[in-house]
A and B are shown apart, each in its own frame.
Chain A
Amino acid sequence: DQQVKQNSPSLSVQEGRISILNCDYTNSMFDYFLWYKKYPAEGPTFLISISSIKDKNEDGRFTVFLNKSAKHLSLHIVPSQPGDSAVYFCAASAGNQGGKLIFGQGTELSVKP
């Protein structure tokens, strides 16, 4: 049973516009959520995270929103740039399970000039 789901395998956005990537989870014990960016044949790079005690965290062009009641989080990138084109993975962890990261399937973002 997949505990972290990213239902959109791909997203295409025009440069300068907002990119919104979505993620749903099922395990109510998750208390920490992260977004990673990954290029082919490379390891994931950490982007931004949010603790379950918050509903929003912002870092430059990246903002993560958490809706605990809906078990949903989203990553907003604004303005989107061509260099943002990559696969974005949502991940979650539960402190009482040792903090192991559980990943979604990823969403491939393409930002067109």
Chain B
Amino acid sequence: EADIYQTPRYLVIGTGKKITLECSQTMGHDKMYWYQQDPGMELHLIHYSYGVNSTEKGDLSSESTVSRIRTEHFPLTLESARPSHTSQYLCASSSQNLNTEAFFGQGTRLTVV
């Protein structure tokens, strides 16, 4: 079983609020990722990090920001939530090996009303 945790699992919040989605892993993985998924659609990479103090934007443009101050922690922040941000957010991590699987957390289902 993968040791990667996301909180909260579900979040309903009003427009304009600032939110932070938490993601932590205990596997010592250097690489971490945030994906966004809408129902019936593919997972889109929105942020990734290859180590502490390293963050990059993914293929899908996102208004969210991330930080990587500690290896095990990769939080995602939305400064001002909007209904268009309603989606499922999935955090993942993987080792430094190139051909290796990524382990996913259980996801955060965000609803902005």
Contact = CB atoms under 8 A, between A and B. Distances in A.
Interface of A: 2, 4, 9, 31-32, 34, 36, 41-46, 49, 51, 89, 91, 93, 95, 98-106
Given A99-B31, A100-B45, A106-B40, 14 more contacts: A41-B9, A41-B106, A43-B104, A43-B105, A44-B90, A89-B43, A93-B99, A98-B50, A99-B94, A99-B100, A101-B33, A102-B59, A103-B44, A105-B42
B63 interface: no
Interface in B27-46: 31, 33, 35, 40-45
A44 B43 contact: yes
A-B CB proximity, top 9 nearest: A43-B104, A95-B98, A103-B43, A32-B99, A46-B101, A103-B42, A105-B42, A43-B107, A43-B106
Nearest to B101: A46
Most buried by B among A31, A36, A43, A105: A43
A84 B40 CA distance: 18
Given A100-B58, A103-B43, A41 B98 contact: no
Given A32-B98, A41-B109, A46 B103 contact: yes
B69 interface: no
B48 interface: yes
Interface string B69-104: 000000000000000000010111010001111111
A32 B91 CA distance: 20
Contacts of A93: 98-99
A55 to B, nearest CB: 16
Given A32-B98, A100-B33, A45 B104 contact: yes
